[in-house]
Structure 1
Amino acid sequence: MMPDSGSESNFRDLLPRQFLDELRVRAPLPQVIGKKAHLERSGRNWKGCCPFHDEKTPSFYVYDDHFHCYGCGAHGDAISFVLRADHIGFHEAVERLADEAGMEVPAASPEEVERSKRRRAHLAALAAAEKIFHRRLFQPEGRPALDYLRSRGISDETIRAFRIGWSGPGRGAFHSELRALGFDTMDIVDAGLARQTRGCLVSDFFFERVCVPVRDGRGRTVSFSARVLGDGEPKYINGPVTAVFRKRRALLGLDVARRGLAEGARLLVVEGAFDVLALHQSGFKGAVAPLGTALTEEHLQELWRLAEEPVLCFDADLAGNKAVKRVIALALPHLTPDRTLRVVRLTDGKDPDALLRKKGADFFRAILNAVPTCSASIFEAFRGGCPLDTPERRAAFRDRLDTAVRSMGHAALAAEFSAEWRPALRANAPAAASAEEKEIGEENAGEAAPRRRRGRPRRGPEVASGHAQVPTTAPRVLDGDEATALIAKTRETFGLPTGGHEDAAFDFAVLENGAVVMTKREIRVVPRLGPMDEITPICLPIAVTAWLVRPDRTRWGKRLTVCSPSGPVTIDLWGDDLAQDDVLRRLLANRAGFHAFHEPQCFKMLRAWRPRHRILILSRPGVHVVPETEDGVVDGKVRRVYALLNGTVLNVPADVSVELESGMCIKDRVARGGSLAGWTAATEAALRLHLHHRREGDPTACVPPCDGLPHVILGIPLGLAAILLASTGLNAAVCLSGASTRGKTISVRAALSVFGLPTEEGLLTLAGGTQVGVRLLAPRRSGAICSLDETRTARSTQHLVDAIFGLAAGVDHVAGEGANGMRERATWQTLGYVTSEYTVRSMVEATGIQMPTGGSARLLDIDIGARIAECRKADIDAIKAAFEGNYGHAAEPFAKEVVARGYLHDPSALLGALNARVEILASGKAAHVGRAAVVLAAAQLALEIAQEIGLLSSNFVDEAENCIVWAMANVAEDAVCDAREAARDKILAWVAAGQGSYIQPREMTYDGFGRPVYSQSAQGYRDDAQDLLLVEQSVLAKVVGPGLTASTLGQALREWGWLAKTADEETPNGRTKMRYALKASIRGARPRCYHLRLAALGMDGQDKYDAETGEIPRAAPYAA
């Protein structure tokens, strides 16, 4: 059962943020949402019809870390999707996703662990009780109960759907049956299935009753609602409060109703269990009922999680009318436009069960179709059927309505309700009243209203029956003073400064075909953006030609004249249509990936903008340069907003204030949802900036243009530079991103020298900031990759990226300086095995690069067919070498089969290959003791890896266990350890080779305990290999991993492979922390490969990070 509402927020706060982040990554959104809606690939993302509203044209988009519907505004991550789609609480959503991802929800304390254990025991006992009760119902002892249910019109199909049962005669028989099943007496009592007296006597809680299971949102039985046969008392009893059951928020039929709601059923709230059964049996699948108590606020919150507009369908008696009033009083403070309710008035039957038996389902469906609106339901509930034929009764009734309005928490909704109730009150006035008396009454009411609702401006037109009345007279144009007062009231309503601030000039509104921004000087129409649109709006000049007010002074607005190409168009906008900062919110939300109206951070960033920045974005929401302030710092919030809106940001020196026409760069940052077109605009901006510097007499700030684009692009990761090289015709790219002025100077000079450019004239500098190194990819010049850096982890990352793109571009060597040159060449040789058909194909699919056949811009200027054949041969040779000691003549055929089936890049298929190896080894049962030892080590390691990555199949487990049993019976005790270690090295080397890099440690010996010992040089080589493996898996998993197709390679490099230099980077602990960060990225991106990789590195089973020492404990070797 979910925790009560008071503990939901506590549960959310107690969960570690790292756990929630990992859960979101290990529950890929396309997989989670694909269970509820059909999705299709759309570029890097997915799209489909929204599961939260009816639509024919897909407007529901799924990205790598969030979903967003551009039709209804639904937005969130995997947890919020499950919470909303399945109508469950946060606790249940987290538990459900954790179960599917194979994760354990962390406990807050040892006490919580014990409580969780007890809850599981209670749920198990309740599940067993449900089976016993249901079985008894169809046995001879349950015949009276079965006849009773059938006499009430309950079919056998409904009985089985709800698992209704018979408790039996009691007298401890049920308790004894549970004890025989292995349940402890205290667990049975604590689950609410038995009572224990002071004399330690135990008796059954339910006996001689029909029992209807009560389930939580996950379908788990948490208690029972039991009815006595006939007219005995008490008629109903419910289980006691337990660790898994709270009557204050439990709803009978909840699990079945959720399935009905998912199919489009209406949420109905009734009073009794048999009402729920009768409604479900008649086709009304959304019926639920509270248990032995009136509806509570917890019930209401649960109902609103299930549906926005539940329908109360209580009994048509005095008690039912009182219950309706009580529920309305509870609901009023919580009503919003998205959370409301309705009330059905039953007049031809005492309750829904009786009405259905008397009139049938069609009659009941007609009642539901005619259910009044929320405001009408509240009006009738407070009226209670009493006539309003005297002034005293109308005054008392008006007071009750005013009290209801004051108790509402949503001011706009309260104003609309009040506006709808006023004509209804006048309609109930005596027909004999004269028009003059009515006019006097209205004037008095108008004078008294401000005293009664102080500080609340009248809003909304006169309405009746929920529909706005169209004014019959033309609006009046306000004079200057009235317009000024109206502007002040508008600012006060929206919380804007009341004067003396330029922000106060902004009012916003929304039209049907776009968003409108209104300022003192001008207004521009900005059409709404689609999910994949660039920010290239059509701007039309608009003027405010008049301020308007309705004759009854209930509506005010502005008259706009739009200067469109077809001629002037007049638009009247009324106050209720205005929404503050609507355009900015929509633009920002579209680029940042969150809902425009549900993200407080959006409002905070909007408040931080200067008026000049607002005008700049709204007047031309393209790409602009944000100049630094006098102290050389750009406001962080402004920079972030610009980055989200425009893709990239470049810190521009304070003396550069030019506004570029078509683009801008803001530091080396990629916004979510950024596209190649956005980066192309950024390169154009960089070129214009360089040309501006050149015109101003600074020749070192730019290089000559080439076909309208620059030779050199600043401030972007290497992956994006490679994409730009392939798509825009650039012939070089320099990426600056780190620390050390000396390193920057040397690296830039070396990079430019590769192109033959003058190092003095072409040396590029940026104001402020630090540079770590330079990446230069020059596929068509000298075929070299220049990589200069001081840190090992960062260097390994850079070399890996260089190798992936360099191999694809046909580069055959690495140029390096000093002592690092030897290590770089050794690293290149290690990575010579990386690129295969899979890698090249994945790069092409992830980046969207079209394979070029000619021209000057060739990222992949190689014979793809020949390279793929070469890589396939390398794969086969590597696997054959790893296996020839065990397979003999079968090594080459097996290696070819592994490559042909793609086992190298699929964890499940990889495990299948490992399974195949165990089977092949197991077939040689007559072999000598050494072969048996190899079989034992292979089978045990395969089983361990399978358990770690959660890929267990019965056939695989049985085969591995059979191998282990056979091998242990045939292996001499003194030969197990050495044979196991030898087999382990070979198997792990094969796993490593299968993941893309073949590692054979050098100069390795064993100590007296069977642990591997490396020489100093070999240990350093192994550490480098670890870094390379980890980074390689991080990059590839981010780009080509299942469910992560929305990430670009540039983002992956920026997030995980392009680590900034830290103060403690040169210390062992600093390097360990950086290595741990890389491992964490693998765990999040592709957890199954993570376990295989750790196994290959000898780190399986112990990868916990010690925050105090900064160390990652190494696992003990595989011992006997």
Structure 2
Amino acid sequence: MRFSNQFLDEIRDRVPISAVIGRRVTWDRKKTQASRGDFWACCPFHGEKSPSFHCEDRKGRYHCFGCGVSGDHFRFLQELEGLSFPEAVQQIADLAGIALPQPDVQAERRERERASLTDVMEMATLFFQDQLQTAAGAKARAYLRDRGLTARTIETFRLGYAPESRNALKEHLASKGVLKEQIEACGLVIHENVPVSYDRFRDRIMFPILSSRDKVIAFGGRAMAADAMAKYLNSNETELFHKGNVLYNFTRARRASQAASKGPDAQPPVVIAVEGYMDVIALHQAGVENAVAPLGTALTENQLELLWRMTPEPVLCFDGDGAGLRAAHRAADLALPHIKPGRTVRFALLPDGKDPDDLVRHEGRAPFDLVLSQAKPLAEMIWMRETGNTTYDTPERRAELEARLKQTVSVIADEGVRRFYQQHMREKLNTFFRPDLRQGGQGQPFAPRGRNQSAGARGQGSGGFQAPRALGISDRLARSGLVRGYQDLPALREVVLAITIVNHPQLLLEEYDEIAAIDFENRDLQRFWSAVLPAAATAGPQLSRQYLLEKLAGQGFEALLAALEQQVRNARLWIATEAAAMEDAREGYRQALSLHKRTKALRLQKMELERAITAATEEGDETSIDLLLRALSEVQSEISRMENQEAIIDGFGVMSGRVKGVAISPGSG
């Protein structure tokens, strides 16, 4: 019978190849490193006295350097024991504890259809590659040249260009005999809710996305037009492509990491996850060939599993700005439940304002290698997040931190790793809160080491040091949306931004790039926004409020939408509602966005100043500490002033009274 590739992959993944071969050979103790899945033995296929037969669990392959035989689980049983392929599959499936699939005519038909769809995707790839070399592709070629890509790199990644035409690809494929149903099944055209289908990708640089078997299964497209609704657009979900299960450049990175891990002093393979297509390509051109990227979304559990299939300790590389740190923290939360002995992640944080593409293009590979060498363990990222930007100067705050750390590490499923994480965090806490005894032995029992220690050096207090007074915030500010973030309700300014755009989607058509760049702090709104933008991009010029609401409700956001609407109505912010005239909604959106950006900039500035104060304190630089504390005080005052300006949100200064052309009095809404 015929077995699907998915079934064969599943049983191969469940049974290490060493478990199959180890029942027939004796592993050499000197050369074998079982903890790394690296095994050596005398070859069972030819007589030899020294071990030259090698198998690797990570690859699921064996090879004899003496006689040259090689293969996978099934080939080994077929060649050594003379089993037929179905018999070999049966034996591996028994070891995996999986029943053989029953003959399924429909499944076999789908498998044939999938094969035909990959042929269509290959034809589309060749078409895009050819178009890049035409006169129509001149602008795209210039863009790639400006980004520093060589002709060899462009050819390696098979980059192409989708012409600015509604039918160019569709007509090309039809002329090759490809059926309309196949073109639609590949996601190459928009065909739902339109009378006539048209090309999904138009006037875009095309990035082919490959499967683990090096077959093109999808595309990413980078818009050439500055006013395009979506700068990057991916293929939709198809029979071939499920975005959350694919990593860009997976196969090439796996080969590179495995090749680099060979040799007498070999280390486990290294794989780096970056954020975008161009980051991967720029790194490859700079000689870093073991990089992958998720497809325009946050890392998923399935993508994390793919990384762990390549290496026990992938490096997740993020921009060093606020958005990058939040993405790193989300990835840490994603990884924590799944870590186990020999399986974790590390985090490399780039300089603020830089991405890997910028770094290697302008400064070469060395700065990026330095960033990688300073990658932080997962435990350190958790510690930094939970202890940052807060003064733990009371028993209550100390207990709160301890409880938060305990709750964070409790999600680790592996009991042994969880126990060591708990021990690690206890030790960190003991050091963090250790009294700093000096000048007669007096100290601050609840002040963290490395913070606020400069006051004693300046002679404040008698016989010991006195920590500087913490820069506090008012109770009103602490309760407000400005600092509450995602721990409670979303900040009102974020709610105004989100619900105004949903109620007035014309704003998306006018300001898509700016709106797409909005970085919400509230986690619910982050997930919400990741659904709004693709829905808007799919609708195109036909985008309407009703269309958005239906799409969002279909993805489970109906309750959140109702809560957001209720929040703006409770605050009497009629300009964020559907009833507001477009002019008022636009002005309200702009003022909310301005307040949002200013607040985020102040918070980032505050974080940078606090880091600088900590560094200056550790170095004993008293002059810098005084200057930095004054600057921090000014920033804190500005944040307080912003809080006092929340009255501006209660109207945003645009009370024209227009409600979609119907005049009302300003106070009537």
Structure 1 distance, partners of 2:445, 2:108, is 70
Which amino acid in the other structure matches residue 306 of structure 2?
E
- What is aligned with 1:149? 144
Structure 2 distance, partners of 1:52, 1:339, is 15
Q: Is the 8 A contact 1:342 1:372 kept in 2?
A: yes
Q: In the TM superposition, what are the counterparts of 1:649-668 in structure 2 within 5 Å?
A: none
SS in 2 for 1:313: strand
Structure 1 distance, partners of 2:406, 2:27, is 51
Structure 2 distance, partners of 1:391, 1:296, is 38
- Out of 322, 336, 343, which is 1:339 matched to? 343
Structure 2 distance, partners of 1:140, 1:175, is 20
- What is aligned with 1:629? none
Q: Does 1:357 align with 2:353?
A: no
What TM-score results when the alignment is normalised by the length of structure 2?
0.52
Q: Is the 8 A contact 2:256 2:289 kept in 1?
A: yes
Cα distance, 1:317 vs structure 2: 2.4
Q: Is the 8 A contact 2:434 2:446 kept in 1?
A: no
SS in 2 for 1:145: helix
Cα distance, 1:298 vs structure 2: 0.9
Q: Is the 8 A contact 1:134 1:165 kept in 2?
A: yes
Q: In the TM superposition, what are the counterparts of 1:381-780 in structure 2 within 5 Å?
A: 381-384=385-388, 386=390, 388=392, 391-429=395-433, 432=436
Q: Against the structure 1 CA distance between its residues 310 and 390, is the aligned structure 2 distance closer, same or farther, given a 3 Å change threshold?
A: farther
- Out of 232, 237, 244, which is 1:248 matched to? 244
Q: Against the structure 1 CA distance between its residues 255 and 51, is the aligned structure 2 distance closer, same or farther, given a 3 Å change threshold?
A: farther
Structure 2 distance, partners of 1:205, 1:47, is 57
Cα distance, 1:169 vs structure 2: 1.7
CA deviation map 1:1061-1097 (0-9, x unaligned): xxxxxxxxxxxxxxxxxxxxxxxxxxxxxxxxxxxxx
Q: Against the structure 1 CA distance between its residues 103 and 330, is the aligned structure 2 distance closer, same or farther, given a 3 Å change threshold?
A: same
Cα distance, 1:316 vs structure 2: 2.1
Q: Against the structure 1 CA distance between its residues 440 and 118, is the aligned structure 2 distance closer, same or farther, given a 3 Å change threshold?
A: closer
Q: Against the structure 1 CA distance between its residues 230 and 357, is the aligned structure 2 distance closer, same or farther, given a 3 Å change threshold?
A: farther
CA RMSD of aligned residues (A): 4.6
Q: Against the structure 1 CA distance between its residues 131 and 372, is the aligned structure 2 distance closer, same or farther, given a 3 Å change threshold?
A: same
CA deviation map 1:56-81 (0-9, x unaligned): x984555579xxx99xx9886x9944
Cα distance, 1:416 vs structure 2: 2.1
Q: Against the structure 1 CA distance between its residues 389 and 150, is the aligned structure 2 distance closer, same or farther, given a 3 Å change threshold?
A: farther
Structure 1 distance, partners of 2:151, 2:35, is 34
- Out of 330, 334, 341, which is 2:334 matched to? 330
- What is aligned with 1:453? none
Q: Against the structure 1 CA distance between its residues 209 and 334, is the aligned structure 2 distance closer, same or farther, given a 3 Å change threshold?
A: same
Q: Does 1:279 align with 2:275?
A: no
Q: Does 1:262 align with 2:269?
A: no
Structure 2 distance, partners of 1:238, 1:308, is 29
Q: Is the 8 A contact 2:312 2:342 kept in 1?
A: yes
Structure 2 distance, partners of 1:29, 1:384, is 50
SS in 2 for 1:344: strand
- What is aligned with 1:367? 371
CA deviation map 1:418-470 (0-9, x unaligned): 3333333333337646879899999xxxxxxxxxxxxxxxxxxxxxxxxxxxx
Structure 2 distance, partners of 1:250, 1:93, is 24
SS in 2 for 1:248: helix
Cα distance, 1:227 vs structure 2: 0.7
Which amino acid in the other structure matches residue 384 of structure 2?
E
Structure 1 distance, partners of 2:206, 2:358, is 21
- What is aligned with 1:379? 383
Q: Against the structure 1 CA distance between its residues 207 and 415, is the aligned structure 2 distance closer, same or farther, given a 3 Å change threshold?
A: same
Q: Is the 8 A contact 1:348 1:355 kept in 2?
A: no
Structure 1 distance, partners of 2:8, 2:285, is 39
Q: Is the 8 A contact 1:29 1:62 kept in 2?
A: no
Which amino acid in the other structure matches residue 180 of structure 2?
T
CA deviation map 1:647-700 (0-9, x unaligned): xxxxxxxxxxxxxxxxxxxxxxxxxxxxxxxxxxxxxxxxxxxxxxxxxxxxxx
Q: Is the 8 A contact 1:169 1:208 kept in 2?
A: yes
- Out of 96, 112, 117, which is 2:112 matched to? 117
Q: Is the 8 A contact 1:46 1:63 kept in 2?
A: no
CA deviation map 1:1020-1061 (0-9, x unaligned): xxxxxxxxxxxxxxxxxxxxxxxxxxxxxxxxxxxxxxxxxx
Which amino acid in the other structure matches residue 250 of structure 2?
L
Cα distance, 1:391 vs structure 2: 4.7
- What is aligned with 1:560? none
Q: Does 1:299 align with 2:310?
A: no
Q: Against the structure 1 CA distance between its residues 109 and 373, is the aligned structure 2 distance closer, same or farther, given a 3 Å change threshold?
A: same
Structure 1 distance, partners of 2:419, 2:192, is 57
Structure 2 distance, partners of 1:315, 1:224, is 24
SS in 2 for 1:262: helix
Which amino acid in the other structure matches residue 120 of structure 2?
A
Cα distance, 1:400 vs structure 2: 2.4
Structure 1 distance, partners of 2:304, 2:316, is 11
Cα distance, 1:414 vs structure 2: 2.0
Q: Does 1:202 align with 2:206?
A: no
What TM-score results when the alignment is normalised by the length of structure 1?
0.32
Q: Against the structure 1 CA distance between its residues 389 and 44, is the aligned structure 2 distance closer, same or farther, given a 3 Å change threshold?
A: closer
- Out of 306, 312, 336, which is 1:308 matched to? 312
Structure 1 distance, partners of 2:281, 2:157, is 8
Structure 1 distance, partners of 2:103, 2:142, is 49
Cα distance, 1:110 vs structure 2: 1.1
- What is aligned with 2:157? 162
Cα distance, 1:388 vs structure 2: 4.7
SS in 2 for 1:160: helix
**Unmatched tracts of structure 1, length 5 or more:** 31-41, 83-91, 443-1120
Q: Against the structure 1 CA distance between its residues 282 and 94, is the aligned structure 2 distance closer, same or farther, given a 3 Å change threshold?
A: farther
Q: Is the 8 A contact 1:163 1:212 kept in 2?
A: yes
Structure 2 distance, partners of 1:248, 1:412, is 29
Q: In the TM superposition, what are the counterparts of 1:1041-1080 in structure 2 within 5 Å?
A: none
How many equivalent residue pairs?
Answer: 401
